[in-house]
Structure 1
Amino acid sequence: MSLLYRLLTEEDTSGFCHKVSDALAKGWALHGDPSYAYDHATGKMRCAQAVTKQIDGVYTPDMKLGEQ
């Protein structure tokens, strides 16, 4: 068994909520609190949320985490 980790990021829009909701629907679990930061380059707020997922098998760096 391996524990996978992803950091989801997006502008502060409903797109971010959909990205997190999609990960939760695929069995990922929230890890810690979300973060928000102002992106000076774009003039917009950005969000981040860490998620984790336990999988059978061994982690390898070539895994496409979003497909797990």
Structure 2
Amino acid sequence: MSTPPDGLPVYRVLTGPDDAAFCRRVSEAIGLGYALHGGPAVTFDGENVVVAQAVVWPTQS
């Protein structure tokens, strides 16, 4: 597939609390064919650890 499914963008940043649901969202993106773009960014909002992970749709060369 040369483009992401369901009209999803080529570049996405997934964010959320560092929990199982966030990990599932990243895993689902990888399962669709996205690749991780760099490492995750992690911060603390005073109550929770919040994570951001960029994913990209691989381009055909």
TM range (shorter): 0.7 to 0.9
- Residues 38-49 of structure 1 correspond to what in structure 2 (within 5 A)? 38-40=44-46, 43-49=47-53
C-alpha displacement of 1:27? 0.5
Regions of 4+ moved over 6 Å = none
- Over the aligned positions, Cα root-mean-square deviation in angstroms equals 2.3
TM-score, normalised to structure 2, is 0.76
If each structure's helix is expressed as a fraction of its own residues, which one has the higher value?
Answer: 2
TM-score, normalised to structure 1, is 0.69
Percent of aligned positions that are identical:
40
Number of positions where the alignment pairs a residue of Structure 1 with one of Structure 2: 54
Q: Partner of 1:15 in structure 2?
A: 21
Structure 2 segments unaligned to the other structure (5+ residues):
4-8
* 3-state secondary structure, aligned to 1:22: helix
1:20-67 Cα offsets, whole Å, 9 max, x none, are: 000000011000001110113xx1110110000047xxxxxxxxxxxx
C-alpha displacement of 1:16? 1.0
Question: d(CA) in 2 for partners of 1:8 and 1:45?
Answer: 14
C-alpha displacement of 1:4? 1.3
Letter in structure 1 aligned against 2:15: T
Letter in structure 1 aligned against 2:25: K
